[in-house]
Amino acid sequence: MTDVLTKDQRKLNMSRNRGKNTSPEILFRKKLCARGFRGYRIHTSLPGKPDIVFIRQKLAIFIDGCFWHKCPLHFKEPETRKDFWMNKINSNVERDKMVNGELEKIGYTVIRIWEHEIKQDSDKALERVASCLNK
């Protein structure tokens, strides 16, 4: 799964991430807490294993990586082993749709947040969640 980056890219990525050590998911969970939205679950057996789940309000949140889930703004086709990766990524996208459907069937609201939204405009993402939780 991780071999999509060349060694040099990986080194660059790691040096960039070092010291920060916060995945978009953890970052967003902190923001939720700061806004007073607690009591979510992170390891549930719901379809698609949502990243964050509010059981009582039946809200499932996914934080989707721009590369793995084919973000319309940032997705770039990999240069090596293109067929292999595109198969994988396209099946991720298909599965995302299926999972959304399964969750909705059991009465869940699904919110999908792009990784880049957490980095660039997390307040907006937070608002989307807030409006579901307050209804």
How far is residue 20's CA from residue 39's CA, in Å, rounded to a whole number?
A: 25
Chain residues 101-120 in contact with Zn ion, contact rule CB under 5 A: 114, 116
User: Is 66 near Zn ion (CB under 5 A)?
Assistant: yes
The phi and psi torsions of 78 (rounded to 5 degrees) equal -65, 150
**Total residues at the site for Zn ion (CB under 5 A)?**
6
User: Is 73 near Zn ion (CB under 5 A)?
Assistant: yes
User: Is 82 near Zn ion (CB under 5 A)?
Assistant: no
Chain centroid to CA 74 = 14
Place of tokens 């293109």: 82
Which two three-digit tokens encode residue 13? 């990525």
How far is residue 3's CA from residue 48's CA, in Å, rounded to a whole number?
A: 23
Binding range to Zn ion, per CB under 5 A, among 14-22, 23-31, 58-66, 89-97: 58-66
- Work out how close the CB of 66 gets to Zn ion at its nearest, in angstroms, rounded to a whole number: 3
User: Is 74 near Zn ion (CB under 5 A)?
Assistant: yes
Q: Which is nearer to Zn ion, 104 or 121 (CB)?
A: 121
User: Is 70 near Zn ion (CB under 5 A)?
Assistant: no
8-state DSSP, 85: H
Site residues (vs Zn ion, CB under 5 A): 66, 71, 73-74, 114, 116
